[in-house]
Every structure is written in structure tokens, then in C-alpha cells.
Amino acid sequence: MNINKTKQGVGIDVGEALRQKLLNKSATVGVIGLGYVGLPLAAASVRGGYLVLGFDVDPSKIATLNSGKSYIDAVSSVELAEHVRGKRMRATADFDELTSCDVIVICVPTPLSRYREPDLHYVEATSQAIAERLREGQLVVLESTTYPGTTDEVVKPILEATGLVSGSDFFIGFSPEREDPGSLRFSTTTIPKVVSGDGALAAEIVDTFYSAVVEKTVRVSSLKVAEATKITENVFRSVNIALVNELKIIYDAMGINVWEVIDAAATKPFGFMPFYPGPGLGGHCIPIDPFYLTWKSRGYGLNTKFIELAGEINSAMPSYVIARLELELDKRLGKSLSRSKLLLIGLAYKKNVSDIRESPSLEIMEALLKRGADVAYHDPHVAEIPPTREHASLVGMCSVDVDHAEAVDAVLIITDHDAIDFGRISQSAQLIIDTRNVMARKGFSGETVVRA
């Protein structure tokens, strides 16, 4: 008897049984990590017809979700409460309940170490937790952004150490998250979903699952291609943002408005895509993910010059903004930075969200405080600064009213939330350092406004 043929036949039977459960919506979906990626996916899976279990190690998140309250803007409390009342979704910290899940999706963080190397301990720990409960007929999908090869080289060996075989006893996939927090145009279900599997049968099963959850899937040939797709998307943004950040510095020295230049260039109907400068990169993707590829490339004896140069330029932008602020304070008000009262507008890393991960505002605020400045912040989406890995000294600071602009020497605009009253700031601030060109976009100009 050909053992491989027999095993393959069993795998087809197991896979087809799982695919039928996905098609008739009798499958249970488990989502591990209920943050900005996991919670919207869990809600979308309920809307797709599945029973969903959400897993997280944070007991406060579990309690909040099971009370029908959401802490993520992309999922309303009204929708969440309906799912909870209807017993279509429940959150738990008991990972033994993974045994009841037919699909398990990993949505845990993939940060960088202090040396800008991949920190995969969340992925590894989660894979180990799954392995301890792994059974025949399950699909395990990694969504966390990482370097090409992670699913094959890290997740798969941990799961196969159980003695179960991928492609025969259980199935593995990778489908990169593509969330756009704060966007009114795109959501989990409307963004095309790249899907892949460990083998053709696994890819078919992954596609079957996501086809019920999102409007469109894009199947690629391998796990590595899917992993590389996500990295490429973020490298593209990082490099192009670095380019316009560098142009901003050059054009500023020439007395040229870089935002006007970009808007004019964007009228060309081909060969140009507009990117806009800012005070530095933030969020869970663009400042971090490109360096996963940098690290992996070193294993092939290759350098990622564009990626590393882009990182250097983007990382230097907070210092550039502070230097510009210091220059204008001295030139216009005759004040040193150490004797100045300042108001930072916007703490979140992008407009209309509450996410402060890797936000340049935190770096700028901490640097200004170390220089002796008196600093406050206003952000309608961030009432109080929560604990962060790198800015412990800022924890507990609270947002002040926008009227505080009257009491300071300068206002520094970092994030251009729609909910901020920039008209009030225009009327009351004696110096405005604008890193987003929001004042000009809203029609507020004058001697007090400086683009930076």
C-alpha cells in the first residue's frame, strides 16, 4: 500500500468535510487577538454567517466585549451588542475552547525588537497554544504581518510537532490583514483579501472561508507570495513617504510649498501618485513591517538600501519638526524652547482614530519635555495617554480643551482630526507650526502659520 497516497486521500476527505462546513455555515471561527485587526474580522465573520469565538489574554477586553461594548471604532457597540445577544459571538480567555473551532485565525502583534529585528514571540506563543489543542480537520490562518517564510518556518513546525500533518490532518493559510483604521471608504469586508494556503487544498479551504466574509478574495500561489505582498505594500508607502519628506525639507529651504507642488503634480493623469509629508511615521505597519524584510534579506546576503534609507529619513522627521519649532520661537517670539509653553494638536498616529501606536506625537512630546518645555496636548480621540512600551513618562497625561491654544506660545499640529476646531486655533494661537498643511486646506492662513 502506498502510504503517501493513502494519507493524501484522507487529507482530501478531511479537507472536503471542512469546506462543506464552511459552505453551509456550520463552522465555528476562532479569532486570536481582539485588537484593531482581530475584532473587525470577528464581527465580519459573524456577518458572514459563522459562530465566532474571540480569544484574548486581556481580561478587561473580554469583559468589555461580552457586555456588548466595543473599544474599536470599526466595530460599533450597537452591532457588537446584537452579536452578543444573539449568541453569535463571544469573547474568552480560555484557550481550551480552541478545540471547538474549525477555523482559527491568528491576529497578534508582530513588533520589532530594540535592534529592529522581528519579535515573533506573540506568533510563536499563539502557535504553541493552538498546537496544544490542535485536532484533525482544523484550518489555522496567520494574518499578522511578517517576513516571507514565517508561516512555513515558524508556525508550521510548531503545529506539526504534534504529529498531525499539514495538508492531510489540518490546514494552514496566510492572509495578510489590510485594515485602514479611520477610513470611511474601506472596511474589512470591502478591501480585497489576499489568500494563500500550504498546498492547493489548503488554499481552496482558506478561499472558501474568506469568500463568505469579504466581498472579494485574491488567491496567490504560495504562503510566501502572500507574505511578500503585504510587506511590499508597506515598503511602497514607506519609501514614497520618505521621498516627499525629503522633498519637503529641500523645498522648504528654497521657499517652495511642497504641498502645492504635490497637488499640482497630482493633476497629471498618469505616471504620478500623490503622497504627502508629515511629522514622522506611526501605526502598527509602515514604521515596522519593512524592517522584517530587511532582517530576512540579510540571511540571503542582501542589503535593502531603499528600505533602510527611507527608515532613516522618516525617523528623522520628528527632530526636523522640533528644530523648525525652535527656530520660529526664537525668530518670532524671542523665546527659547526651554522657556516656552506648547500645545500639541493630535496624539494619534493618523486622523480620526484613537490609535497611538508608534505615533510621532509621543516622540515629539517626550523630546520637548526633556528640553524643558511646558507641553500639553489636545486630541478628541485620546482623552488620556495609556501605557506604551517606549514612553512610560507620558502615561496618565490628559487631553486639554482646544481653548488652551490661547495660553501657549506655540501650537504644534501633528494630527489633523476632523473633530478638531482649527478655526478656534487660528483665532487664538500666536504661532502655529503645521506639519499636515491642514490650516491651508481649511482656508486659515496668515503670518502666524508656519508649514513644517
Residue 125 is placed in which grid cell? 506563543
CA distance 230 to 38: 17
> Where are the strands (E) in 313-371, listed by range?
341-345
CA atoms of 30 and 296, how far apart (whole Å)? 30
Phi, psi of 152, rounded to the nearest 5 degrees: -70, -40
Q: How far is 180 from 175, CA to CA, in rounded Å?
A: 16
**Largest Cα–Cα separation, the chain:** 89
- Backbone angles phi and psi of 150, in degrees to 5: -60, -45
> Is 408 in contact with 429 (CB distance < 8 Å)?
yes
The residue among 20, 43, 22 whose CA lies nearest residue 31 is: 43
Q: How far apart are CA 97 and CA 104, in angstroms?
A: 11
How many other CB atoms are found less than 10 A from the CB of residue 186? 12
Spatial distance between the Cα atoms of 159 and 376, rounded to a whole number of angstroms: 49
CB count within 10 Å of CB 387 equals: 9
Q: Which residues neighbour 69 within 8 Å (Cβ) at sequence distance 6 or greater?
A: 77, 80, 81
- 285 catalytic, yes or no? yes
Give the catalytic positions in this structure. 285
